[in-house]
Amino acid sequence: MTQESDIKGQAKDILDETLDREAVLVLTRISEEMQLLFLAHPSPTPEKVKEIVTGFFLENGKSEQFIEDWINTAEEYGRTRGLSEHEQPMALLSDFGVFRFMSFLKDKGLTDDQITIVLTGAVQQASEQQDRAQG
């Protein structure tokens, strides 16, 4: 448990040191948008997830080739993790959320190591919140 607390503390320190209030608000908005997507699509079809991802990337100026490559890479990653076809759409949606966070943090100048710590801390926080909600 101490190691989890250390990671969450490191993640908080990194965010406090590197991001201004506006950036924290953007991260909060990304999190809220992803939560809404998960609530609206608890068992999404592959087509629905691709539609969501494609729409987002097109709105943000990404090329069709980028989108196709991103989806193919994410799908392949899901297969290598041994996910069933039923699990893959939700995993793709989850990977999309992680990608959004990582891209934003990268744009803000965080290093890959800092991003890993922040994402690990966020996963731990989310797991604890889910455990409390279920328990």
Express each pLDDT in 93-125 by its tens digit. Answer: 999 999 998 999 999 999 999 988 888 887 777
Q: Are 95 and 52 in contact (CB under 8 A)?
A: no
- What is the pLDDT, as a whole number, of residue 18? 84
- What is the pLDDT, as a whole number, of residue 15? 82
pLDDT tier for residue 1 given thresholds of 50, 70 and 90: very low
| Percentage of residues of the chain with pLDDT beyond 90 | 59
Which tens digits make up the pLDDT trace of 20-53? 888 888 888 998 999 999 999 999 999 999 999 9
| Averaged pLDDT for residues 69-92 | 93
Has residue 2 got a pLDDT over 60? no
| Averaged pLDDT for residues 71-81 | 93
| Averaged pLDDT for residues 84-88 | 91
**CA angle centred on 124, ends 60 and 82, rounded to 5°:** 70
pLDDT tier for residue 129 given thresholds of 50, 70 and 90: low
Q: Could you tell me which of 122, 93, 90 has the C-alpha nearest to residue 105?
A: 122
Assign 4 to helix, strand or coil: helix
Q: pTM of the entire structure?
A: 0.81
| Averaged pLDDT for residues 58-66 | 96
Q: How far apart are CA 36 and CA 49, in angstroms?
A: 13
DSSP H helical segments within the chain, as ranges? 2-18, 21-40, 46-59, 64-80, 88-107, 112-134
